[in-house]
Amino acid sequence: MAKITKQSDNFAKWYTDVILEADLAEHGPVKGTMVIKPYGYSLWENIKNILNNMIKDSGHENAYFPMFIPKSFLEKEAKHVEGFAKECAVVTHSKLISEDGVLKVDPSSKLEEEIIVRPTSETIIWHMFKKWVTSYRDLPIKINQWANVVRWEMRTRLFLRTSEFLWQEGHTAHATKEEAITETLMIVDMYKSLFEDYLAIPTIIGRKSNMERFAGADETYSIETMMRDKKALQAGTSHYLGTNFGTAFDVKFQSKENKEQPVFATSWGVSTRMIGALIMVHGDDKGLKIPPRIAPHQVVIIPINSKNEEKEKFDNFVDMVHSKLKDNGMRCFIDDSNNGPGVKFNNWELRGAPLRIDIGLKEFESGNVTLCRRDTGEKEEMSLDKLSTLPSILEDIQKGMYDSASSFVKENTFELHDYSEFKKLLSKENCFIKAYWDGSDDSELKIKEETKATIRCILEDIKDPKLKCMFSGKPAKHLVVFAKAY
């Protein structure tokens, strides 16, 4: 088993090493594609199931819309096209022919209208909403779909930016602006809970600036997270789309008063990118560290020296421990591979299992087990009747992971009101900096050019005319967070 690069030597290399060595995923044959391997997919499924329940509990219904979108649909919302035009996969033909053993595109199969592989589904969904909405009685529509989308990316990285990725996209239609805005914000809270309560990732939430906003949205709210290299990762978004798509797709409804009115929209999503955040928030030089609530295996049992004379009895003892854990509601796995114990220890640390139970001759004879925590590395021998306390230890680990991630964010977040200090700090190290901003694209752009830091989100609006923009000295409009971002 290869050793992984240390975080301090090369964080990007560490990240790739961990994913490959922990068997989460590997590169597909087409540039930017990713094969999510069983261990990684099981992690995704755990997250997905939790979020899926949250989505349904808040009154949304799952549905599925096609991956293929007529090109003309994309043209209908001007800003939306602009945002996605440069990264679309386009289907132009429907046939291949074999010429002397070489496969070629059959020119005669050229499509009347070219088809876009969805980079996101607003257009096709609003095309359908037009058919579904005529009266106020048809609203709201609250739809979610789990799907893959394709964005043809220049520079790709496993989980963080792949040409094809998995996500959920929620799309809702409402009779009033207020209701749509409430929906947008409710989703932000839902994501916050997913990140904080399950992924143990602290979040910073706010509105996006004009420049960073989703193409076609009136307002974008984002979930910003800090990685261990102190760069920011946008890990989820919720958009208030106003009537942009309603208008573009001519979706209107008749009100109680028999008046024709425009439909208000939201859309929101989180993707497999979350797994990238999870890796970079919690991981250390030993590898992954997965929060217990979403870990594929919460407890991994390592049998040691299982080749003694009483092998059968030994195996029964191991099985008995295993079923005790399962009976206590834990996801549990026995590593009975042929590897030596050292390899297994390192392997499960690399793969981030929260708890490990070692069972060797010593335990077999004493009737105890040895428990080892991934977060602290502490080992302790415990009697079998204490196994029922493991769920509370898992919860303790979960909380500890959140707390330590949270203090890391606090330690690396500063508030500055002087631009030269701002530049100096950012040239020295990555961090989050809260500062006042005048709200202009111009200031934001120049700060980006000079420091590579961007506005991650707007935290508050400023009314006090005495407060000035850190960059321009003009009256401040917002308190924002700056950081270098993924």
Partner RNA sequence: CGGGAUAUAGCGUAGUCCGGUUAGCGCACCUCGUUUGGGACGAGGGGGUCGCAGGUUCAAAUCCUGCUAUCCCGACCA
Residues in contact with RNA by CB under 7 A are: 1-4, 27, 30-31, 83, 86-87, 151, 153-155, 160-163, 165, 212, 214-215, 222, 234, 237, 271-273, 286, 304-307, 338, 340-343, 345-347, 349-350, 358-364, 370, 372, 377, 379, 486
How near is the Cβ of 165 to RNA at its closest, in Å?
A: 4
How near is the Cβ of 263 to RNA at its closest, in Å?
A: 24
- How far apart CA 450 and CA 437 sit, in angstroms, is 16
How near is the Cβ of 404 to RNA at its closest, in Å?
A: 20
Choice between 178 and 336, CB closer to RNA: 336
Choice between 212 and 438, CB closer to RNA: 212
Choice between 47 and 476, CB closer to RNA: 47
Looking up tokens 């789309």 gives 241
Choice between 166 and 180, CB closer to RNA: 166
How near is the Cβ of 370 to RNA at its closest, in Å?
A: 4
Choice between 362 and 474, CB closer to RNA: 362
Cβ neighbors of 124 (< 8 A, separation 6 or more) are 65, 66, 69, 73, 118
Choice between 31 and 56, CB closer to RNA: 31
- How far apart CA 484 and CA 462 sit, in angstroms, is 23
- How far apart CA 116 and CA 420 sit, in angstroms, is 46
Choice between 2 and 103, CB closer to RNA: 2
How near is the Cβ of 98 to RNA at its closest, in Å?
A: 17
How near is the Cβ of 120 to RNA at its closest, in Å?
A: 9
Choice between 32 and 140, CB closer to RNA: 32
- How far apart CA 44 and CA 57 sit, in angstroms, is 20
How near is the Cβ of 418 to RNA at its closest, in Å?
A: 26
- How far apart CA 363 and CA 387 sit, in angstroms, is 14
Kindly tell me the sign of the dihedral angle through the C-alpha atoms of 189, 194, 200, 203. Answer: negative
The three-class DSSP label of residue 8 is: coil
Choice between 173 and 277, CB closer to RNA: 277
Choice between 25 and 160, CB closer to RNA: 160
Structure tokens at 217: 């949205």
> Whole-angstrom distance between the N-terminal and C-terminal Cα of the chain?
29
How near is the Cβ of 119 to RNA at its closest, in Å?
A: 8
- The torsion angles phi and psi of 86, rounded to 5 degrees, stand at -80, 0
How near is the Cβ of 346 to RNA at its closest, in Å?
A: 3
Choice between 292 and 303, CB closer to RNA: 303
Choice between 137 and 311, CB closer to RNA: 311
The three-class DSSP label of residue 312 is: helix
Bond before 140 cis per omega within 30 degrees: yes
72-108 burial code (b ≥16 CB/10 A, e <16): ebbebbeebbebbeeebeeeeeeeeeeeeeeeeeeee
- How far apart CA 12 and CA 158 sit, in angstroms, is 11
How near is the Cβ of 267 to RNA at its closest, in Å?
A: 12
Looking up tokens 């599925």 gives 64
How near is the Cβ of 393 to RNA at its closest, in Å?
A: 16
How near is the Cβ of 326 to RNA at its closest, in Å?
A: 21
- In contact, 359 and 335? CB cutoff 8 Å: no
Choice between 263 and 304, CB closer to RNA: 304
What is the torsion angle, in degrees rounded to the nearest 10, for the CA atoms of residue 189, residue 190, residue 191 and residue 194?
A: 120
The 3-state secondary structure of 434-461, one letter per residue = EEEECCCHHHHHHHHHHHCCEEEEEEEE
Question: Mind giving me the DSSP string for 152-220?
Answer: --SS-BTTTB-SEEEEEEEEEEESSHHHHHHHHHHHHHHHHHIIIIIS----EEEEPPTTTS-TT-SEE
How near is the Cβ of 254 to RNA at its closest, in Å?
A: 35
Estimate to the nearest angstrom the gap between the alpha carbon of 419 and the chain centroid.
Answer: 32
- How far apart CA 157 and CA 32 sit, in angstroms, is 7
